[in-house]
Amino acid sequence: MPFDYLLILGAFLFCVGLFVVVTRKNAILVLIGIELMLNAANINLIAFSSFDPNALQGQIFSLFIITVAAAEAAVGLSIVVKVYKHFQTADLDKINELKG
Amino acid sequence: MELNDIIFYVFGAITALSALYIMLTKNILYAAFALILTFIGVAGIYVFLGAEFIAVTQVLVYVGGILILLVFGIMLTNRLSGKKVVSPAYNKLMGLIVAAGLFAILFKGILQANFSAMNWIDKGASADSSIPKFGLTLMTDYVLVFEIIGVLLLLALIGAIRIAGNVRKEDKSAV
Amino acid sequence: MIDLQDIILPKSDPIIYWIIALLAIPFFSFLSTQKFRSKAPHWSTFLLGLNTLIAIYLTTRYWNSDFITVRGHWFKLGETQITYSFLVDRLTLIMSVIVNFISLLVHLFSQEYMRKDKAKPRYFAFLGLFTFSMMGIVLFNDLLFIFIFWELVGLSSYLLIGFWFEKKSASLAANKAFIMNRLGDLGFITGLMILYTQFHSFDLEAIKSLMIYSEIEGGNWVAQFTNNGHEIINTLDGRWLSAAGIALFCGAVGKSAQFPLQVWLPDAMEGPTPVSALIHAATMVAAGVYMLARIFVILDAQALEVVAIVGAITAFMAAIAALSQFDIKKVLAYSTISQLGYMVMAMGIGAYTSGLFHLVTHAFFKAGLFLSAGIIIHQLHKLESKEVMFNAQDMRVMGGLRKHMPKTFFCFLMCALALAGLPGFSGFLSKDAILLDLAVWADIKGGGFYIPEVLAFATVLFTGFYTIRMILLVFFGNFRLPIIMQKNELSGRLKEGNWIMLVPVAILALLSLSPVFGFTLNAEHTWFVEAMPTPIYLVPISYAAKSLVDVTPETFEALHGLVNAVSIGLAIVGIVIAYLAYKPNAKLEQEFVERREPRGFFGQVSFYHWYQDAFYRKAILKFVMLKAQALSWFDKKVIDGIIDGLAKFNVVFAHLIKWFDRYFVDGLVHLTVFTSGRIGQLTRSIQSGNVQAYILASFVFLILLMLYLVF
């Protein structure tokens, strides 16, 4: 199994996540993109960790990332719900209160 | 070609294709479901890389938790009245350029780094399964971080409830 | 070294109140007559009487005291202090008496003369203005102020000559007088400038004091003095000293009707006759002589020569012109010019006292003549009606008036004999004094300077001639008007003038007698000559004329008898010739009545006053008009063209600039605005408030950073 392919897959996932984050109007989809990017990072961590069987730091790190992702998803979604209640929309292009 | 490799490629393909689908579809709900496929694909790759525990956690947390949350979020933030839940895209060109550019740079970097030639990479070590060892390490060396993560999760949950909950009601009950 | 500021220190004296009164009363008369309307003549006569009394009082009080100067600072221009100053000496006193007294008599006379005129208040206002300005000239001792009042006199003369401005000839005559006076004033002001350049002051006392200290060094006229402690050395070419005198004299030429500007005076007879008596015989025309007397001591030899020659020429020319006039006032006008010529010539030869003496005597007898002529004209005017239209001043309609108005005749005769210069009358004394001084002067100078003497003596002959001719034509023979009009009843209607007119004339006739000035036939012994000695020249010695004061009395004594004999002889010869030519029914008398103008070359030259007017009209006026036309053409075509061109060019240029402004300058501004706006929009668009845009931007920069760091 070529190691480079793993890394390329991770990079691909990250870029797709980035694209989704940047282009989609809906806040839920943006969160989905963020999840994709986190997963891309996890793939890299696990891939490198597999060459280090004794320390397993990569796996532990990815476990923490998953946890943080869960927390982030919970908080993020609750914010989205709150924003929707407030602005009556979840489209990020319409929520530009900070426009200069 | 071994079966292992074939399965790996299949999982890799599932991951990549479902991710592409998320990217291309306009329907939010479809994207959420495609995300399940991506997560499962990623979990499969984890298994192949000897991180079974992480793979299981991935499936549990992501597919069982986050995705449910996402679907609820979609439900709460759209007026579902029979029609499709779609979300238009914008900034497509800029997004594509940035994403493709980043990918190109990363791709080139990965190829140039030529990790296979590095001597610290022990190709034989990847097959070992070591859940007990992982559990030991987590409960000994990283126990503090583990506890902090737990507290963080708790805080996040409380915070999520606090944010999403009805403020007015709480104010009234507080009085 | 003498300091200018010390000379012109302010001085005061109680007499200033009298001086102010002398000036203010006529001025008040000028301002107030309009209020009194029909009472205006009485009011202004009363005021003038008051003024005359003041003048007489001042004369009796200050006659024997030293001269008094009153001076004040007016304003300061840089280092230059402009002052006003009054001088009261015997000359001032006698002039103020004469001016006020004759003015009073003329006011009195005008009560009757102007009775029917509707514009009486205006007339008396102008008389007041004239008296005021004349008193200004007399009292001020500051050339600047003398010049100001000089102009005022010119103005009031202009107003009075043009009093009947409805008459075209009167307004033209007024213009002529004014313009001729202006020509002379041009010289006056030039003289002021020269003196000011040299002495930095207009004050006559300062000028005289500094003149003493100025010197001639190698042909240059150097004045050295201090002003406020600053040492000043002014150096001019020596000829400027003469030029200053001659330039100031030009003012006198204009005002005193001297050759070549004398042509205005005959025309000035268009004014009312009392005005002619006051202004154009006794006072205003004497102002020039008075001014010469004031600046007498700062005139150098050359300037004095010019003055003498001009005076002699004027006296002679005017006497010739007076020989053949028809208009009684014209005869008197030319005789006035002639006598003024005498006075000016007297000043020129250094006979200061004689000149002023003649001024005084002439003022009385000439005013008397004019007023007598005024009575005649006034009475003749009464004969005018719709059927009988004639020129009341023309001697051809007169004749034989002796029987109709004997009192007037008697007064006229006395004044005329004074004019002719017969012993026993004032004119004899003063004219004799001038002629004696002239004879001495000519002997000292010699050569060509005998010509003024010859001219002056010839003038005596002509004066006798035209005086007697006038008397014969006016008072003797038959009254010609009824004959010309063929209406015999006119003869009976001509009456003597009333006492309001006769009293002033009688007073003036009495003042024409020589006993007024002393029971003597020698001018030397009159109180006037003794009271007013000739001053010594103050100009640097090398430029000064030889003063008559330095001539021994023996020289005068030696010549006195001869001059007396010749002048009396010539006058009598003139009188006899005139009697023979113009006695009733004589040949010339007959011709005179019939002809429109004299015959023969001599007659023509005389009648047209040496064709001077015609010459001015043909040579100067034509030239001036041509020049004016040329200039007008030049103005219209060339200058206007240039200006138009400039304007057009400007417009085109302005359009260019406008275009440039709009497209380049505005373009630049707009470009700046546009770019900054665009940059603003660009940077603003980054701050869109859109989270995704921020993310995009940060990733863009991440990529750029990676490209920069890695590759």
pLDDT at residue B138 greater than cutoff 70:
yes
Q: Mark which residues 66-95 of A lie under 8 Å from C by CB.
A: 92-93, 95
pLDDT at residue B25 greater than cutoff 50:
yes
This complex has an ipTM of 0.87
The DSSP-derived string for C350-361 is T-HHHHHHHHHH
Tell me how close the Cα of B4 comes to any Cα of chain C, in angstroms. Answer: 36
Please tell me the predicted confidence (pLDDT) of residue C356.
92
Is the link from the previous residue into C260 a cis peptide, with omega within 30 of 0? yes
Contact C703 B94 (CB under 8 A): no
pLDDT at residue C190 greater than cutoff 90:
yes
| C560 to C141, C427, C513, C555, C556: CA distances (angstroms) | 35, 16, 21, 8, 6
pLDDT digits (tens, 9 = 90+) for C114-155: 888 888 888 999 999 999 999 999 999 989 999 999 999 999
Is some CB atom of chain C closer than 8 A to the CB atom of A98?
Answer: yes
Q: Which site among A18, A34, A93 would you substitute to test the C interface, given the most C Cβ atoms closer than 10 Å to its Cβ?
A: A93
Taking contacts as CB-CB distances below 8 angstroms, the residues of chain C near B101 are 703
The stretch A29-54 carries a mean pLDDT of 86
- Chain A residue with CA closest to B134: the answer is A56
Which parts of C435-504 are beta strand (E)?
none
Please tell me the predicted confidence (pLDDT) of residue C246.
92
- Chain A residue with CA closest to C697: the answer is A22
| C-alpha span between C495 and B81 (Å, rounded) | 140
* Encoded tokens for C353: 């006292």
Taking contacts as CB-CB distances below 8 angstroms, the residues of chain B near A17 are 19
- Residue among A38, A81, A31, A72 at smallest CA distance from B155: A72
Sign of CA dihedral C269, C271, C273, C278: negative
The confidence band for B121, taking pLDDT boundaries of 50, 70 and 90, is low
The confidence band for C573, taking pLDDT boundaries of 50, 70 and 90, is very high
Please tell me the predicted confidence (pLDDT) of residue C159.
92
Tell me how close the Cα of C694 comes to any Cα of chain B, in angstroms. Answer: 12
Contact B103 A11 (CB under 8 A): yes
Largest CA distance in chain C: 146
Looking at chain A, the whole-number percentage of residues with pLDDT higher than 70 is 93
Tell me how close the Cα of C696 comes to any Cα of chain A, in angstroms. Answer: 6
The confidence band for A100, taking pLDDT boundaries of 50, 70 and 90, is low
Q: Which has the minimum average pLDDT: C246-250, C388-392, C562-566? A: C388-392
Subunits with 3+ C-beta pairs closer than 8 A to B: A, C
- Residue among C456, C189, C517 at smallest CA distance from C316: C456
Taking contacts as CB-CB distances below 8 angstroms, the residues of chain B near C697 are none
Count residue pairs from B and C with Cβ separation < 8 A: 18
pLDDT digits (tens, 9 = 90+) for A47-88: 888 777 666 788 888 988 998 898 988 898 888 888 888 888
Contact C703 B102 (CB under 8 A): yes
Subunits with 3+ C-beta pairs closer than 8 A to C: A, B
Query: Are C174 and C164 within 8 A, CB to CB?
Result: no
Is some CB atom of chain B closer than 8 A to the CB atom of C695?
Answer: no
Contact B102 C707 (CB under 8 A): no
Looking at chain C, the whole-number percentage of residues with pLDDT higher than 70 is 99
Is some CB atom of chain A closer than 8 A to the CB atom of C706?
Answer: no
Query: Are C426 and C513 within 8 A, CB to CB?
Result: yes
pLDDT digits (tens, 9 = 90+) for C390-416: 888 888 888 888 888 889 999 999 999
What's the mean pLDDT when you consider all of chain C? 87
pLDDT at residue C472 greater than cutoff 60:
yes
Please tell me the predicted confidence (pLDDT) of residue C374.
92
| B81 to B70, B117, C383, C540, C668: CA distances (angstroms) | 19, 57, 133, 130, 58
Domain count of chain B? 1
Query: Are B104 and C706 within 8 A, CB to CB?
Result: no
The confidence band for A26, taking pLDDT boundaries of 50, 70 and 90, is confident
- Residue among A29, C644, C285, C566 at smallest CA distance from B25: A29
Helix and strand numbers, DSSP H then E, in chain C = 31, 5
3-state secondary structure B133-161: HHHHHHHHCCHHHHHHHHHHHHHHHHHHH
The stretch C345-352 carries a mean pLDDT of 90
Tell me how close the Cα of C674 comes to any Cα of chain A, in angstroms. Answer: 19
Contact C691 A97 (CB under 8 A): no
- Sequence letter at residue B122: D
Please tell me the predicted confidence (pLDDT) of residue C104.
92
Contact B115 A7 (CB under 8 A): yes
| C-alpha span between B112 and C39 (Å, rounded) | 131
Query: Are C474 and C401 within 8 A, CB to CB?
Result: yes
Please tell me the predicted confidence (pLDDT) of residue C340.
92
The stretch B50-54 carries a mean pLDDT of 85
3-state helix, strand, coil in chain B (%, to 5): 80, 0, 20
In CATH, what number is assigned to the domain containing residue B163? 1.20.120.1200
Candidate from C692, C693, C699 with C-beta closest to B102:
C699
pLDDT digits (tens, 9 = 90+) for C660-678: 988 888 889 999 999 999 9
| C-alpha span between C383 and A11 (Å, rounded) | 141
The confidence band for B174, taking pLDDT boundaries of 50, 70 and 90, is very low
This prediction's pTM: 0.66
Contacts for C535 with CB less than 8 Å, ≥ 6 apart? C296, C297, C352
The confidence band for B171, taking pLDDT boundaries of 50, 70 and 90, is low
Q: Which has the minimum average pLDDT: C19-23, C185-189, C352-356, C479-483? A: C479-483
Is some CB atom of chain A closer than 8 A to the CB atom of C688?
Answer: yes
Domain boundaries, chain A: 3-87
The confidence band for A98, taking pLDDT boundaries of 50, 70 and 90, is low
- Chain B residue with CA closest to C693: the answer is B91
| C-alpha span between B161 and B19 (Å, rounded) | 30
The stretch C432-439 carries a mean pLDDT of 90
The conformation of residue C608, written as its DSSP 8-state character, comes to T
The CATH code that applies to domain A3-87 is 1.10.287.3510
* Encoded tokens for A81: 């719900």
Please tell me the predicted confidence (pLDDT) of residue C146.
92
CA atoms within 13 A on the CB side of C116: 6
Please tell me the predicted confidence (pLDDT) of residue A99.
66
pLDDT digits (tens, 9 = 90+) for C73-115: 888 887 788 889 999 999 999 999 999 999 999 999 998 888 8
Please tell me the predicted confidence (pLDDT) of residue B80.
65
Is some CB atom of chain B closer than 8 A to the CB atom of A39?
Answer: yes
pLDDT digits (tens, 9 = 90+) for C1-53: 788 888 888 888 888 899 999 999 999 988 888 888 778 888 889 999 999 99
Q: Which has the minimum average pLDDT: A13-17, C129-133, C603-607? A: C603-607
Tell me how close the Cα of C678 comes to any Cα of chain A, in angstroms. Answer: 15
The 10 Å Cβ neighbour count of residue C616 is 17
pLDDT at residue B175 greater than cutoff 50:
no
pLDDT at residue B168 greater than cutoff 70:
no
- Ramachandran assignment for C609, one of left (phi > 0), alpha (psi -120 to 50 degrees), beta (any other): left
Query: Are C293 and C352 within 8 A, CB to CB?
Result: yes
pLDDT at residue C387 greater than cutoff 80:
no
Residue matched to tokens 């004497």: C286
Please tell me the predicted confidence (pLDDT) of residue C223.
86
Taking contacts as CB-CB distances below 8 angstroms, the residues of chain C near B109 are 710
Please tell me the predicted confidence (pLDDT) of residue C105.
92
pLDDT at residue C575 greater than cutoff 60:
yes
Subunits with 3+ C-beta pairs closer than 8 A to A: B, C
Taking contacts as CB-CB distances below 8 angstroms, the residues of chain C near A93 are 690, 692
pLDDT at residue C603 greater than cutoff 70:
yes
Taking contacts as CB-CB distances below 8 angstroms, the residues of chain A near C687 are 98-100
Is some CB atom of chain B closer than 8 A to the CB atom of C707?
Answer: yes
- CA angle, C332 as apex, C601 and C147 as ends, to 5°? 110
C160-182 residues labelled b (16+ CB within 10 A) or e (exposed): bbbbbeeeeebbebbebbbebbe
Contact C688 A23 (CB under 8 A): no
The confidence band for C226, taking pLDDT boundaries of 50, 70 and 90, is confident
- What SS3 class is residue C11? strand
pLDDT digits (tens, 9 = 90+) for C312-334: 999 999 999 888 888 899 999 99
Please tell me the predicted confidence (pLDDT) of residue B129.
59
Taking contacts as CB-CB distances below 8 angstroms, the residues of chain C near B104 are none
Count residue pairs from A and B with Cβ separation < 8 A: 227
Is some CB atom of chain B closer than 8 A to the CB atom of A95?
Answer: no
Taking contacts as CB-CB distances below 8 angstroms, the residues of chain C near B94 are 696
Q: Which site among B103, B119, B168 would you substitute to test the A interface, given the most A Cβ atoms closer than 10 Å to its Cβ?
A: B103
